[in-house]
Amino acid sequence: MATIYDVAKRANVSAMTVSRVINNGSSIKESTRLRVEKAIKELDYIPNRSAQSLISKDTKLLSLLITDVANPFFTSIARGAEDKAHEKGYQLVFSNSDENIEKETSYIRSAVSRGIDGMLLTPSGDFSIQNINILTKYKIPFVLVDRSLKGIESDIVHGDNSDGTKKLMDHLFENGHRTIGFVTGPSSISNVRERGDAYKQFIKDNKLPFNEKWTFQTDLARMQTLSYINLLLEASKEDRPTAILCSNNFLAADLVNNMNKMGLHVPDDISVVCFDDPHAIQMPNSFFTVVNQPAYKFGYTGMEMLIDRIEGKSGKEHKEIVYDTELIIRQSTKKIN
């Protein structure tokens, strides 16, 4: 791990000069500034801006990095994480990546520079491995929540994606649906893959008809479900699915809103089910049939695992905690003949 003195040596300047460059000090020659910045980049040096941590190596500062704070699922994770951190005497810094790897990188580097003791994070996708490597390089403990990363050994807490998908598919099947579509996010996200695999397995196990046109993949930050609806409308009513499973709550909300605009009604024309509630508060007249995940527990337990890791209370083996899902049946599905 590079230090300010390594940068100074590489740039052939004093450590004070490096510090002035980092803090945008005045009266520094442009050639010197460029030389220092080049050395910082070559050494992948991240300045630690926390004087407290330089002395004690213990900031009592933790970071939570999630992908969409507007999503009630992640809001509940944040609530659980904050409650546990406060209970244990830690301060928590929140960041939101918007499913964007560049924003995720920026927030992680910023968190490292602040001298955090550990991070609880939901990776934006498989490319997040490069950012996990930053945490590993600086020996910062981390715990993954909701999503895993291939080849990364870490503590993790998440829901049972396969069983949750099966619960939704079973509900549709038991209500007479045999042609079931699937709207999902990028395959670079672990739980998207797991839900997709479970959807395909259910289709296979129950010998249901399958049509590639019934499945649709879109970006979670820039959802394009209207394109999917237009494809459905181009087909005859007999060639459309009678039900659609959405792997994400906001996808389901976007899908239904666009269906309404195009004259398709849920559940009269098509039933819709999804993971997690799209709305922050579950009201008696809540609309969507969902499998609910205990998001608050994700955050609370994940933060507990992180603090145990920081305080040396965890063993060498990493823990994986998988929570069951709960099927909640509401008005977005109906029985068909």
Cα separation, 27 vs 33, in Å, equals 10
Provide the whole-model pTM.
0.84
Fold match flag (52-159+295-323 vs 161-293) = yes
Residue 19: predicted pLDDT: 79
The C-alpha torsion from 150 through 152 and 153 to 154, rounded to 10°, is: -100
Cα separation, 91 vs 76, in Å, equals 18
Q: What is the CATH number of domain 52-159+295-323?
A: 3.40.50.2300
Q: Name the packing angle between helices 30-43 and 4-11 (round to 10°).
A: 130
Instruction: Collect the ranges in the chain with pLDDT lower than 50.
Output: 50-57
CB atoms within 10 A of CB 284: 4
Helices (H), 118-224: 129-137, 161-174, 190-205
Report residue 304 as tokens. Answer: 């507990």
Query: Which superfamily, per CATH, for 161-293?
Result: Response regulator (3.40.50.2300)
- Extents of the domains making up the chain: 4-43, 52-159+295-323, 161-293
Q: 103-161 pLDDT, tens per residue? A: 999 999 999 988 899 999 999 999 999 999 999 988 999 999 999 999 999 999 999 99
Nearest to 332 by CA among 214, 177, 207: 177
